[in-house]
Amino acid sequence: MTTEAGRGPGGPPQRYQGGGGGGRPAGGRPGGRPRGRFAPRRRVCTFCVEHVTHIDYKEIDKIRRFVSDRAKIEPRRRTGVCAKHQRALRTAIQRARTIALVPYVAYHSFSGGRR
């Protein structure tokens, strides 16, 4: 007696439980459906391309690109920076925050009253 894939012996079909591909056709991407026309390109670290050896905390124009509008440090998966430069960038941002070159929190202007 053979059973179909995804069915228990005599029971209803199994529901999708999350995880890997889920048995769905991936269309060239592991674990999901293709988005758009083109395959996603791998990001290259901007600091590695420019052969940067030291990220200076006083260069706030470079640092601000890696801080979100809510004054949070952007993750590597979003910026495309390598692990080595992400650690140096984090240190530079924290040093710039210490001497008030970069804010700790976003500026909120509200008209008063209670929150």
Helix (DSSP H) and strand (DSSP E) numbers for the chain: 4, 0
In the numeric block, which tokens belong to residue 15? 């529901």
Q: Is the pTM of this model over 0.75?
A: no
Strands (E), the chain: none
Q: Tell me the two tokens of residue 39.
A: 């395959």
Mean pLDDT value across the chain: 79
| Domain ranges within the chain, ordered by starting residue | 46-98
State the Cα–Cα distance between residues 82 and 10, nearest whole angstrom.
51
Cα separation, 45 vs 56, whole angstroms = 17
Which tens digits make up the pLDDT trace of 27-57?
555 666 666 776 667 789 999 999 999 999 9
Q: Which CATH number fits domain 46-98: 1.25.60.10, 1.10.3210.10, 4.10.640.10, 3.40.50.300?
A: 4.10.640.10
32, 26 Cβ separation under 8 angstroms: yes
